[in-house]
Every structure is written in C-alpha cells, then in structure tokens.
Structure 1
Amino acid sequence: MTKDNIAFSSVPGATVPNAKSILKANIRAEKAEKKDKRLRRRQRYVEKDGRCNVQHGNVRETYRYLTDIFTTLVDLKWRVSLLVFIMAYAITWLFFGVIWWFIAYCRGDLEHLEDQTWTPCVNNLNGFVSAFLFSIETETTIGYGYRVITDKCPEGIILLLLQAILGSMVNAFMVGCMFVKISQPNKRAETLVFSSHAVISQRDDKLCLMFRVGDLRNSHIVEASIRAKLIKSKQTQEGEFIPLNQTDINVGFETGDDRLFLVSPLIISHEINEHSPFWDVSKRQLAKDDFEIVVILEGMVEATGMTCQARSSYLVDEVLWGHRFMSVLSLEDGFYEVDYNTFHQTFEVPTPLCSAREMAEATARMDAHLYWSIPSQLDEKVEEGTEKEDKDKERNGSLSSPESEQVHLE
C-alpha cells in the first residue's frame, strides 16, 4: 500500500480507491474534456473544400439580381441553368408561333385552305401546330422548304425580321452563358490541395506558422499568389464587439515570397514576430484560443488564362505545435518525383512551449547579460594583471636593496 493510500485509509469511513475506479475517473475526465472541446469548436467560416458558410437572408432588393442577369444565370446550379436554357428557346418559339397563327387567322388563311387561288401569308400553314413548327424552322434557320412565307404579307415579313433578330440575341445570350459556365475555373481549383493541418515550429531560430500547398495537375497555375487571414472575434477598447474580424497574416508580401512558382508542393511560412497576431500565443494559449485561419491561393489557368481561386481553412485544433512536414520530393533518374502519400504527414520536433514574445525577451535578457558580463570579466583580468605587476615590482625591489647598500658603502 502506498503512502497516499495509507494516509487516505487513516481517515474514518474512507475507502481506498482502487485502480479500476481511478481508470473510470480518468475516462470520465477525458470524455468531459472532449465534450468541452466539441462545445468550444467554432463554426467554420470557410470549409476545407473552399465553400463559404455564409447565407444571405432577408434580402429585399432582389431586383438587383435582375440588373445583372448574366451573372445571375452563370451562378445558377446546372439543373436550373439547363431548365432556363430550354425554357428560353421554348418560350420564344411558342411566342412567335402564336403570332404566326394569329396573322393567319386574322387574314383568313385558315378559312381558305382548299382555295387554290388564295395566297396565304405562309404556305402550308393550316393550324397552330404548323405555325409553331414554322416558328422553330425560322428561328433555328432549319429551312425544310415546306412552309414558306409569301411576298403578299407585309406583316409577315416584318415579323420574320423581328424573330430573326430576337432569335439571334437569345441564341447569343444563352450560348454565351453556357460557355462561360462550362469554362469556369472552379473545377480547376479542385486539383489545388492544401495540407490538412498547419504547424508551428522553429525556422532559423524563429517561431513560424506553416502550411503546405500543391498542384496535382501537370499544367501549371500562372502568376500564383497566396494570402492568409485570421478570422477571430474582437472587442475594441470602446466596448464594440466585432464578430469574425479579419486580420492579415503576412506570408511574404514584403519580400515577394507570396508569389509562387507552384511546380511542386511548397511550404508557406509566416514568421511570428511583433507584427504577427500570434506574437503572444504559446502552446497552452493555443489550446484555449478560438480562431480560424483562412488561406487563399489565386492564379491564372495556363490553358484558358482565366483567374482561379482555391480556399481552405484551419481551426485551432488543426494547428499542430512542435511539428514539421514530411518531405515529398525525391530525386529519381533525371527528374524529381513528388510523393503525395506524405503530403499531409507531419513529425514532431523540439520546439519551445512559450510564445514568440517570451522567446524574444529571453534572448534579449541573455544578450544583455553577455553584454555586461564580458566587460566586467575584462576589468577583473586587468586588475589581476595590475596587482601581479605590483607584486613583481615589490619582489624585485626587495631583492635589489642589499646590493644597493653594498654599493653605497663602497
């Protein structure tokens, strides 16, 4: 029995906890800690795949969507876009088909179908169905030749011109929308990958926040650039609460390191200095903090020249303290090979648990101590040398005094 158990058993009415009860207590504590982490887990502002978790509600000025109808149609889902595409053509065909039938009805062409001497507006137009088919043939310029407009119908000629012009406009607009929707570079962003975790470790004796980006395609992203933002709620000195406040994270804007040559996976580094929002963050503080890091990779698609943007984010529990990324590059026979099996893998490295501010202050104190200790040591050595010289002089003086007396007597 251990000392703790002996002391515990000395209390009247107390029972000694066994290993099983201690294990259950530890399990309950771990479950409570995990539950607390789940409760503290914040809602993502940006998903790992780049989708933004923002929905606009109570938008009253919906007419603004119609003022930019082209962008509205391009942003629609594919099933809605296809439905709009089909309905646009079907409505115009039906609209002009009704007008062709109405002209034939007003001129009396439908009443003289068997009259060979009657000149109709459109030959062989004997009802609404044939008028609808003639509208399709006219707008799509199929031209079967069975139904033909005659020169005795000026209103038909004017309607033919209007349908040809309006049909060309509808065709250009809808084909343009579909072309832009097909050529959108959103799918290209799916082959731009981010590491599943961000890491904090030392680089050149400085704490750095790092994450990795890569491109799975052989065609490259031109003029690639990277940005990062810290999403964290903030309260001002005046008491104003700012939810989801955005703060820039410097990933090399001043030095040009934010412009990437993304041929192989790259590790993006943010030096944690006095200008960094992580200046006062230690490992313990990181576990208690609540923020989200949003990273944005932009560039032009080499094949089309269109701008592509890929996004991802890291929550607090996705930032690993004291880790580094595994290497993914290896030199083969005449080329470099990228192993994406280790793209997301990290390994632990010795890293101080304190914040970057505390590291800088400790380094400054050490430098100051060395600065003041070296001159004092030099002064002590000078004093020791002076005392030694004085002693040597005294010794030499005592040895030379009898000789001087003898010389004086002579």
Structure 2
Amino acid sequence: MVRSLQRWLSDYLAERRLCKSRLVTKDGHCNIEYGNIKYQNHLAYVLDLWTTIVEIRWRFIIILYVASFSMSWFIFGLIWYWIARDNGDLTWQNPPNGHIPCVDNVYGMTSAFLYSLETQTTIGYGGRAITPLCPGAIALLIIQSIIGGLISCFWCGVVMTKIALPKKRAKTINFSEAAVICPKNGTLCLQIRVANLRKTLMIGSQIYGKLLRTTITPEGEAIILDQVNIDFMVESGKDNLFFVCPLTLYHVIDKSSPFFAMAVDTLHQQDFELVVFLDATAESTSSSCQVRTSYIPQEIMWGYKFQSIISRRKDGRYHVDFSNFSKVVPVPTPHCGYCFHNEKGHHHHNRNWTETTGFEVIDINELDQGTKM
C-alpha cells in the first residue's frame, strides 16, 4: 500500500516536471511566461477591449456581466434620486398636497434604484411611472433605455463569441499520446495519429511540425527554442487532407531530417520538443481553427507502429474502433536512420518477426516510463 502510494506520487511528480518543461502542453496550451513588460504595453489590452474580454475566463465574464448591470442600475438610480430631490418629491421634503412628482412613487433611494432597474430592463410593474412634468426626467429615460440596450447587445455578443470560438471545435480533434518510428513504404518514418471525433469535415486541413531545441552556433552563441521545420504527409500528400476518418501522418527520416542522427539508444537522451500543428476550417461554422500538441523524446517509441483501427463490415459500412487509437505493436526497425540507409539488415529487433501472432499490443496510455525506454 505504502509502496504503491510512493510510486504513484513519484510518477505524478515526474509528470508534473515534464509538463512544466514543455513549451506546448498536450492539449495545445503554450507554457510561456512574459516578464518585464512596460506599463505602456498593458494599455494595449485596454485599447483592444473586445479581444481582451472575449479571451478572459468565464468566471470573470460572469463577474463583469453582473457588475456592469448592477453599476448602471445604481448610477442611474442616483440620478433619478437627484431629479426627485430637485423636484421636491422625496418623503423627507414633505411635498404639499396636490404636488405632481417627476416619477410617481419615487420617494427615496431604494425606490429610485427600483425604478432605474425597471426602466432599464423594461419590466414596468406599474407602481412607478414617469410624468410629463420634468423634461430632464424624460431625457434621462431615453438615455438610460439606449445605454441599457447597448449593454445587453455587448454582452450577448461576448457570450455568443465565446461559445463559438474555434478553439472549442479543436477539442474534438485528438492526437495520439505518443509518436512511433518504424519503416513505411521503404522509408524510415516518424508517425503520429490524428482523429476527428465529429462526422462534420475539417476543410482544407494542413498539418506541419516544428522541432524546438537549443542549438549552439559556430560563434558559440546559444539559440534557445531554435525551430526546425518538420514536414508531415499521408499517402495522398501533405495538403488538403480528406479528414473523414483517423489519419496516420508520417515524417520521412532521411538525411535532411533532424531525426537522422538519432538512434534507438540515444533518442531519449535528446533534449527537444516536437510541436505538431493542424490548421483547418470547420465545415459547419466556416471558422478557422488550429489544433496543437507536442511530443518530447520520452513520448516517441522506436520500433513500433500503430494498430489498425479502420475495418469494413459485411454490409459495406466502414467502422472505426477508437479503442485501438492509442495502441501500438512492435515491428522490425533499423537501429538508426543511418543504419536504414546504409545497412539494410541492421534492425533494432534481433528476433525474427515474420509471424505477427506473437506481437504484443501495447496501450500508449498504460505505458510507464520504464516501458517507453
């Protein structure tokens, strides 16, 4: 019991350390902190108020929503109270018999606030009503009605925009938890799997990657987060993917690839982060969205391939089994990219893998650190 708890705690802390060391998390958030920003730059967030409000969290949206209406009701309530006081309508002013007030039944701050709320929300209970005696009260009624309508339109736009944000559509695009390296069509490839969980298509899908690492220039200068382009493709090409079912995307490890110099026993000793991007347009909303994820060396499995998840039933329909989405099987694989191009017989697996019945199906989500290594 204690030992299992210690192991769980150590695995949790290790996972937290890996998460903090990422630039891009598995769900696509950028893990970066800005410091020493001058005060003038903060003003830009205020000038671009619409984007700032749309991007803040829902809890702050609700707070600002309640605060904006409450403050407007209170401010206009003060003005109605001032108009009633100026006309001598308040109870403590002892208005004479036959006195005509600016607003009926407004005789204190509480009643003035209630009239302000009823006016701006167009409730109109009938107990308080404006009279034609005060031109200033009529003008204030018009102004408050216009401002109340503008506030309502603004917050309706914010809520609708946040609900329709393209990043919400990205939640239904899943990448495999790990990447694999194995031969494919006579080449050594790094492969990842991506799936669209909705039946609506993603139009104009394009996928690409960036390898982030620290490099040292010949002059001795360290370049942090040096970006190297990583091209991904499917059999039909790399642009305008037909994203109707899960796709296995691959990057060819040739002499121009940064993975060419890596090997099975040195891969997990490397310090890099592979960030994968998917840019597409949602068919149902015509909104563009980008899906991101990242892979560190410990999440790249050398000598494995993804298990097939697409089959065809007897009635002719195609079936996708998502239970195998994150499962891999071992395959004969060269020890390194150099071995593949120069020594065709040098494979990472020394056993004879001609019979696939002995393969062990591995769930990526269940692999611990020792299994991955």
Matched, 1:45 2:23: yes
Which residue does the alignment assign to 1:86?
Answer: 66
Which of the two has higher C-alpha Rg?
Answer: 1
State the 1:132 CA deviation: 0.8
Match of 1:294 among 275, 289, 301: 275
Which residue does the alignment assign to 1:74?
Answer: 54
Which residue does the alignment assign to 1:329?
Answer: 310
State the 1:164 CA deviation: 1.7
Matched, 1:65 2:65: no
Matched, 1:136 2:105: no
What is the letter of the counterpart of residue 109 of structure 2?
F
Which residue does the alignment assign to 1:355?
Answer: 337
Match of 2:81 among 101, 115, 135: 101
Aligned to 2:110, the other structure's residue is in SS state helix
Match of 2:212 among 225, 231, 234: 231
For residues 132 and 197 of structure 1, the distance between their equivalents in structure 2, rounded to whole angstroms, comes to: 60
Matched, 1:342 2:342: no
Higher mean C-alpha deviation, range 150-159 or range 41-50: 41-50
State the 1:307 CA deviation: 2.3
For residues 196 and 135 of structure 2, the distance between their equivalents in structure 1, rounded to whole angstroms, comes to: 62
User: Contact 1:231–1:246 at 8 Å: present in 2 too?
Assistant: yes
Q: How does 1:162-173 map to 2 (within 5 A)?
A: 162-173=143-154
Aligned to 1:284, the other structure's residue is in SS state coil
For residues 325 and 169 of structure 2, the distance between their equivalents in structure 1, rounded to whole angstroms, comes to: 19
User: Contact 2:196–2:246 at 8 Å: present in 1 too?
Assistant: yes
User: Contact 1:231–1:291 at 8 Å: present in 2 too?
Assistant: yes
State the 1:110 CA deviation: 1.3
State the 1:362 CA deviation: 5.8
Percent identical across equivalent pairs? 40
Q: How does 1:259-298 map to 2 (within 5 A)?
A: 259-298=240-279
Gaps of 5+ in 1: 1-33, 364-410
Gaps of 5+ in 2: 1-10, 345-373
For residues 97 and 195 of structure 2, the distance between their equivalents in structure 1, rounded to whole angstroms, comes to: 76
What TM-score do the two structures reach when normalised by structure 2?
0.80
Q: CA RMSD in A?
A: 2.5
User: Contact 1:226–1:259 at 8 Å: present in 2 too?
Assistant: no
For residues 252 and 211 of structure 1, the distance between their equivalents in structure 2, rounded to whole angstroms, comes to: 10
Aligned to 1:311, the other structure's residue is in SS state strand
Higher mean C-alpha deviation, range 51-60 or range 209-218: 51-60
State the 1:183 CA deviation: 2.0
Q: Deviations over 1:99-132 (max 9, x none)?
A: 1101111221215666442222112211111111
Match of 2:289 among 295, 299, 308: 308
User: Contact 1:227–1:258 at 8 Å: present in 2 too?
Assistant: no
State the 1:237 CA deviation: 1.9
Aligned to 1:74, the other structure's residue is in SS state helix
For residues 162 and 120 of structure 2, the distance between their equivalents in structure 1, rounded to whole angstroms, comes to: 24
For residues 283 and 186 of structure 2, the distance between their equivalents in structure 1, rounded to whole angstroms, comes to: 38
User: Contact 2:173–2:194 at 8 Å: present in 1 too?
Assistant: yes
For residues 237 and 133 of structure 2, the distance between their equivalents in structure 1, rounded to whole angstroms, comes to: 74
State the 1:322 CA deviation: 1.7
Match of 1:155 among 125, 130, 136: 136
Q: Deviations over 1:73-112 (max 9, x none)?
A: 1122111111111111110011101011011112212156
What is the letter of the counterpart of residue 48 of structure 1?
K
Match of 2:126 among 128, 137, 145: 145
State the 1:284 CA deviation: 3.0
State the 1:144 CA deviation: 2.6
For residues 139 and 316 of structure 2, the distance between their equivalents in structure 1, rounded to whole angstroms, comes to: 71
What is the letter of the counterpart of residue 63 of structure 2?
L
What TM-score do the two structures reach when normalised by structure 1?
0.74
What is the letter of the counterpart of residue 325 of structure 2?
F
For residues 354 and 163 of structure 1, the distance between their equivalents in structure 2, rounded to whole angstroms, comes to: 73
Point out the structure with the larger helix share.
Answer: 1
State the 1:256 CA deviation: 4.3
For residues 283 and 248 of structure 1, the distance between their equivalents in structure 2, rounded to whole angstroms, comes to: 22
Aligned to 2:301, the other structure's residue is in SS state strand
For residues 340 and 83 of structure 1, the distance between their equivalents in structure 2, rounded to whole angstroms, comes to: 40
For residues 247 and 231 of structure 1, the distance between their equivalents in structure 2, rounded to whole angstroms, comes to: 7
For residues 53 and 97 of structure 1, the distance between their equivalents in structure 2, rounded to whole angstroms, comes to: 46
What is the letter of the counterpart of residue 136 of structure 2?
E
Q: Deviations over 1:220-257 (max 9, x none)?
A: 3232221211111112222221212222101149x842
For residues 215 and 113 of structure 1, the distance between their equivalents in structure 2, rounded to whole angstroms, comes to: 73
Match of 1:319 among 288, 300, 303: 300
For residues 152 and 37 of structure 2, the distance between their equivalents in structure 1, rounded to whole angstroms, comes to: 31
User: Contact 1:251–1:258 at 8 Å: present in 2 too?
Assistant: no
What is the letter of the counterpart of residue 80 of structure 1?
F
